[in-house]
Amino acid sequence: MDRIRIVGGNELHGVIPISGAKNAALPLMIASLLTDDTLTLENVPHLADVEQLIRILGNHGADISVNGRRERQGESYARTIHFTSRNIVSTTAPYELVSKMRASFWVIGPLLAREGKARVSLPGGCAIGTRPVDLFIEGLTALGAEIEIDGGYVNAKAPEGGLVGGRYVFPKVSVGATHVLMMAATLANGTTVIGNAAREPEVADLARCLNAMGARISGHGTSTITIEGVRSLSGARHRVLPDRIETGTYAMAVAMAGGDVILEDTEASLLDTALEAIRRAGAEISETNSGIRIVRNGCGIRPVDIVTDPFPGFPTDLQAQFMGLMTKSTGVSHITETIFENRFMHVQELARLGAKISLSGQTAKIEGVSRLKGAPVMATDLRASVSLVIAGLAAEGETMVSRVYHLDRGFERLEEKLTRCGAHVERVSD
Nearer Cβ to ligand UD1 (132/195): 132
Q: Binding to ligand UD1 by residue 339, rule CB under 6 A?
A: yes
Q: Binding to ligand UD1 by residue 385, rule CB under 6 A?
A: no
Q: Binding to ligand UD1 by residue 26, rule CB under 6 A?
A: yes
Taking the complex as a whole, how short is the minimal distance between the CB of residue 23 and ligand UD1, in angstroms? 3
SS (H, E, C) 339-365: CCCCCCCHHHHHHHCCCEEEEECCEEE
Stretch that binds ligand UD1, among 69-77, 90-98, 172-180, 184-192 (CB under 6 A): 172-180
Task: Kindly name the residue from 126, 209, 299, 421 that is annotated as catalytic.
Answer: 126
Element (H, E) at 218: strand 216-218
Q: How far is CA 170 from CA 123, 158, 175, 223, in A?
A: 20, 20, 11, 10
Q: Binding to ligand UD1 by residue 217, rule CB under 6 A?
A: no
Binds ligand UD1 (CB under 6 A): choice among 103, 163, 255, 372: 103
Single-letter amino acid code for the residue at 106: W
- HSE-CB at 410 with a 13 A cutoff on CA atoms is 24
Stretch that binds ligand UD1, among 56-64, 128-136, 184-192, 268-276 (CB under 6 A): 128-136
Taking the complex as a whole, how short is the minimal distance between the CB of residue 347 and ligand UD1, in angstroms? 17
Nearer Cβ to ligand UD1 (73/130): 130
The answer for residues whose C-beta is within 8 angstroms of residue 72's C-beta and 6 or more apart is: none
Binds ligand UD1 (CB under 6 A): choice among 4, 78, 98, 177: 177
What is the CB neighbour count within 10 angstroms for residue 42?
15
Q: Which residue in 156, 159, 133, 160 sits closest to 144, CA to CA?
A: 159
What is the rounded CA–CA span in Å between residue 377 and residue 395?
13
What is the rounded CA–CA span in Å between residue 240 and residue 39?
12
Stretch that binds ligand UD1, among 1-9, 125-133, 288-296, 400-408 (CB under 6 A): 125-133
Q: How far is CA 407 from CA 29, 119, 292, 388, 410, in A?
A: 21, 30, 23, 11, 6
* Chain residues 229-268 in contact with ligand UD1, contact rule CB under 6 A: none
Binds ligand UD1 (CB under 6 A): choice among 94, 129, 219, 300: 129
Instruction: Give the neighbor-by-neighbor strand order of the sheet with 398-402.
Output: 376-378, 398-402, 3-7, 424-428
Binding footprint of ligand UD1, residue count (CB under 6 A): 21
Helices (H) and strands (E) in the chain, counts: 14, 26
Q: Binding to ligand UD1 by residue 132, rule CB under 6 A?
A: yes
Nearer Cβ to ligand UD1 (68/132): 132
Binds ligand UD1 (CB under 6 A): choice among 83, 136, 153, 250: 136
Q: Binding to ligand UD1 by residue 176, rule CB under 6 A?
A: yes
Q: Is 126 a catalytic residue?
A: yes
Binds ligand UD1 (CB under 6 A): choice among 33, 175, 183, 275: 175
Single-letter amino acid code for the residue at 79: R
Taking the complex as a whole, how short is the minimal distance between the CB of residue 60 and ligand UD1, in angstroms? 18
Binds ligand UD1 (CB under 6 A): choice among 51, 96, 134, 148: 134
Q: Binding to ligand UD1 by residue 271, rule CB under 6 A?
A: no
For the chain, what is the radius of gyration of the CA atoms?
Answer: 21
Q: Binding to ligand UD1 by residue 406, rule CB under 6 A?
A: no
What does the DSSP 8-state code read for residue 45?
-
Q: How far is CA 334 from CA 122, 262, 316, in A?
A: 34, 29, 14
Q: Which residues bind ligand UD1 (CB under 6 A)?
A: 23, 26, 102-103, 129, 131-136, 172, 174-177, 202, 316-317, 339-340
Q: Which sequence positions are flagged as catalytic?
A: 126
